[in-house]
């Protein structure tokens, strides 16, 4: 079991024929993902990397039954691509693109909510269900099947955690990078609720960063309310000076909310185990699983 994505998922790629779309689709296929279609307007009827290409998402969905879309189109067109997928009835939309204008994204998000689709990202690494499938850019070789769920706002820091866990012999169910932009699809709370309901996920690692208050909201509304599984939390940006924008539109501190201290405190109060380094996160996740299995055997 896993959340959101399985080996059965029928994946289409918007922007398949572009440079990044091609490179990462090959990686996705190499991982075993069931990539059934590509969409590149004007290239319908051709094939690329052995995958049939369609002009529209609606065509691709009708012909192939695709139910998940990965988006690799350039930022000026990405919000439209998200809405096209939602309008075509795609249930899970994963947008990797970085740099989408704010107002485009605000509208696209509202559109996705109305269509009752799930959006991951934008400006995210996507997700991997270990050993089954991936949509996005998480490196193939780092994931190992197991029972830890990962949800993270960072891209590259997520890879650190996945690799660290795998090297320590701690496998994962699904690793989800929710993205670093201020306007996102699924939040920490949304993904944590999915992990809560997933029988295969026995513990969850949550990687937050300074800025916004999604970590605090997840702590109060999900982790602190009989979550029933160990949660290991980590926040990056502890030493970032207040008021400085650190790359992500998201990673900016304003006032007292959004600081590392506020997030760490909220996580602790909710009963999560808070760690100072990625190495500690890995050790804590391993220990949490050990305790659960020994408790189950007693």
Partner 1 sequence: MKFLEYQVKERFRAAGVPVPDGRLARTPDEAALAAGALGPIAVKAQVPVGGRGKAGGIKLAKTAADAKRVAGEILGMTIKGYVVKEVLCETAQEITRELYLGLTLDRDARKPVLILSAQGGMEIEEVAETHPEAIAKLHPDPWRGPLAFEVRDLIFRAGLGPLQAQLTPLVVKLYALARTYDALTIEINPLALTRDGGLVAADGKLEIDENAMFRHKDLHGADDSEEDPLEAEAKRRRLTYVRLDGSIGVIGNGAGLVMNTLDLVQREGGHAANFLDIGGGAKAEVVHSALELLASDPQVKGILINIFGGITRGDEVAHGIIDATRDLHLTLPLVVRMTGTREEEGRRLLQEAGITPEATATAAARRIVELSSDPAR
User: Which tokens go with 113?
Assistant: 């909510």
Size of interface with partner 1, in residues (CB under 8 A) = 63
Residue located via tokens 């988006």: 71
- Quick one: 98 or 202, whose CB is closer to partner 1? 98
Nearer to partner 1, 7 or 101 (CB): 101
> Cβ 15 to partner 1, closest distance in Å?
13
The reply to whether 109 sits near partner 1 by the rule CB under 8 A is yes
Residues 112-171 that bind partner 1 (CB under 8 A): 125, 137-139, 142, 152-160, 163
Task: Judge contact between 128 and 152, C-beta under 8 A.
Answer: no
Q: Position of tokens 């590259």? A: 156
- Residue closer to partner 1 by CB (options 60, 112) is 112
99: cis peptide before it, omega within 30°?
Answer: no
Q: Which of the ranges 56-64, 189-197, 198-206, 240-248 carries the binding residues for partner 1, by CB under 8 A? A: 240-248
Q: How far is the CB of 236 from partner 1 (least distance, A)?
A: 4
Catalytic residue ranges:
248
Among 103, 290, 291, 293, binds partner 1 (CB under 8 A): 103
**CA–CA separation, 148 vs 286, rounded Å?**
9
Using CA atoms, how far apart are residues 136 and 146, in angstroms rounded to an integer?
Answer: 20
Identify which range of 46-54, 83-91, 194-202, 272-280 contacts partner 1 by CB under 8 A. 272-280
Q: What angle do CA 154, 258, 95 make, to 5 degrees?
A: 35
Residue 17 binds partner 1 (CB under 8 A): no
Is the four-CA dihedral 125, 127, 128, 133 of positive or negative sign? negative
Question: Which single residue is written with the structure tokens 């201020």?
Answer: 182
Distances (CA, A) of 90 to 75, 112, 119, 128: 20, 10, 10, 18
In the 8-state DSSP scheme, what is residue 244? Answer: -
**Contact string 186-225 vs partner 1 (x = CB under 8 A):** ---------------------x-xxxxxx--x--------
Q: Which is nearer to partner 1, 156 or 293 (CB)?
A: 156
Residue span binding partner 1 (CB under 8 A) among the ranges 58-66, 179-187, 192-200, 288-296: 179-187
């Amino acid at each position: 079991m896993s959340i959101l994505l399985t080996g059965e998922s029928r994946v289409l790629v918007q922007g398949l024929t572009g440079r990044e779309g091609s490179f990462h689709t090959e990686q996705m296929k190499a991982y075993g993902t069931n990539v059934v279609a590509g969409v590149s307007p004007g290239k319908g009827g051709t094939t690329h990397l052995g995958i049939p290409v369609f002009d529209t998402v609606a065509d691709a969905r009708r012909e192939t039954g695709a139910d998940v879309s990965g988006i690799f189109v350039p930022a000026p067109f990405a919000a439209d691509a998200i809405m096209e997928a939602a309008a075509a009835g795609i249930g899970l939309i994963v947008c990797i693109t970085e740099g989408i204008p704010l107002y485009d994204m605000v509208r696209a998000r509202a559109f996705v909510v109305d269509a009752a689709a799930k959006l991951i990202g934008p400006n995210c690494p996507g997700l991997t269900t270990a050993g089954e499938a991936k949509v996005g850019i998480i490196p193939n070789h780092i994931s190992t099947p197991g029972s830890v769920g990962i949800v993270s706002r960072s891209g590259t820091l997520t890879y650190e955690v996945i690799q660290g866990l795998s090297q320590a012999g701690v496998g994962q169910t699904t690793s989800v990078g929710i993205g670093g932009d201020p306007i996102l699809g699924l939040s920490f709370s949304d993904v944590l609720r999915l992990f809560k309901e997933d029988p295969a996920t026995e513990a969850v690692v949550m990687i937050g960063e300074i800025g916004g208050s999604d970590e605090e909201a997840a702590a109060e509304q999900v982790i602190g309310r009989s979550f029933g599984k160990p949660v290991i939390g980590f926040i990056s940006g502890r030493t970032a000076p207040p008021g400085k924008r650190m790359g992500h539109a998201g990673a900016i501190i304003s006032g007292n909310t959004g600081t590392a201290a506020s997030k760490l405190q909220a996580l602790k109060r909710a009963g999560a185990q808070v760690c100072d380094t990625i190495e500690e996160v890995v050790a804590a996740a391993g220990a949490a699983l050990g305790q659960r299995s020994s408790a189950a055997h007693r």
